[in-house]
Amino acid sequence: MISFVGADAGAITEQHVADVLGAGDVVLLAGKGHEQSIIHGTEKRPWDDRTAALDALAANAERNGVAAAVHAVRGDAFAVLKELREKLLPPLDDDFAGQLGDFDDLAALRADIQHRLERNALDRARHQFADRIIEYAIANATVDLPEVLVDQEVEVMHDEFRPGLARQGITEEVSTKNYDLLMLGTFKRSILSGSLFGGIGDYVMKNSKIPTAVFSIKGSEFPYRKILVPVCETLSTRASFALAMHLKQALGSNLVLADLRKYDKKKTHGFSTVFDRMGEMISTYGDNISVIRPSLSTSLLEEMELVIRDQRPALIVFGVRDGKSGKVRFNSNMKNLVKSTVQDIVVLKK
């Protein structure tokens, strides 16, 4: 019989062999049997695997009142390398791109990487060029700078420093206090802007550790008389759906649920409970809740634009969640809708 017994080094006892040892069995000590010492902490103590095993076998035989013929044989083991394998990389496909973030496919991942590399290269070039100009100007300056220019530079530096203080102050506040929700309001950004909610809004959305709702405000209508919620995992979360229900109840708004689940490439919960418990939601949050199932396009972005044009909501509610990296990522559909629509937008990060 062959049995495998796990024991820490220096801990071979009769209990390790008592349950598996039988007549004619062979005990193999597979370890560093050639070493004659063992280290406990910083102390080096004498130790021999064979002696410890023989003592354990003899003690076990004596305890059971049987005679045991045991002896130890030192042996050497050899291993022959038959094959050297290398680590296999995952296939470079759409599934791999989705694992790295909210990318619809591999092309979206490549485009994002290229955009970031180009942006970083441009930033480096601009800073290097500006540094050379400043160094040259300082090295060749022959007149004292007017005080008014110094004062203007100090004012610019102060204006640039102030948003940083605001960002850090908000994130520090929410990290040290037991808030349930952080809400911010920003003016709607241009479609050409690289920012979604401005420097402060983007920073807080990405770095806050609690649920955060940021409103992109055009100021067309308040209180909101009609709220639109796209029901799909690409643009919403269950938390953002709950926020929309509470806003509807607080403002007495009409709520429109656009069932766009057919556009989800990856589904986890599918918002199934939303439609299964519609009666319960109406009794809790009030009536004036309507469900539409548009099917006018094969594109989620185009479908949303058609729904917005048809329903004319005052507020649209979106939802995002932290990615696997711990940072929130906005997919291209959401970015376009937040910037291009004239309606107010709120995005809730779970």
Percent of the chain at pLDDT exceeding 70: 78
Q: Which residue has the higher pLDDT, 301 or 177?
A: 301
Which residues sit opposite 183 in a β-bridge?
Answer: 213
Domains, the chain: 1-85 (no CATH), 89-143 (no CATH), 178-349 (3.40.50.12370)
How many whole angstroms separate alpha carbon 162 and alpha carbon 128? 25
Stretch (H or E) spanning 49: helix 49-63
The pLDDT, as a whole number, for residue 79 is 59
Q: Which residue has the higher pLDDT, 53 or 8?
A: 53
Query: Does 74 score more than 60 pLDDT?
Result: no
How many whole angstroms separate alpha carbon 277 and alpha carbon 257? 14
Q: Which residue has the higher pLDDT, 64 or 249?
A: 249
Residue 259 structure tokens? 């069932």
Helix-, strand-, coil-residue percentages of the chain, each rounded to 5: 45, 15, 45
The pLDDT, as a whole number, for residue 9 is 47
Query: Does 68 score more than 60 pLDDT?
Result: no
Residue 298 structure tokens? 């094969």
Model confidence at 329, in pLDDT bands (50, 70, 90)? confident
Average pLDDT over residues 109-116: 90
Least confident of 65-69, 100-104, 140-144, 185-189: 65-69
Residue 24 structure tokens? 């004619």
- Distances from the Cα of 129 to the Cαs of 122, 139, 256, in angstroms? 11, 15, 52
The pLDDT, as a whole number, for residue 21 is 65
- Each residue's pLDDT tens digit, 161-203: 566 656 667 777 776 777 888 888 888 877 777 788 887 888 8
Query: Does 144 score more than 60 pLDDT?
Result: yes
Residue 273 identity: T
Average pLDDT over residues 275-302: 88
- Each residue's pLDDT tens digit, 10-50: 555 555 655 566 666 777 776 666 677 887 777 888 877 77
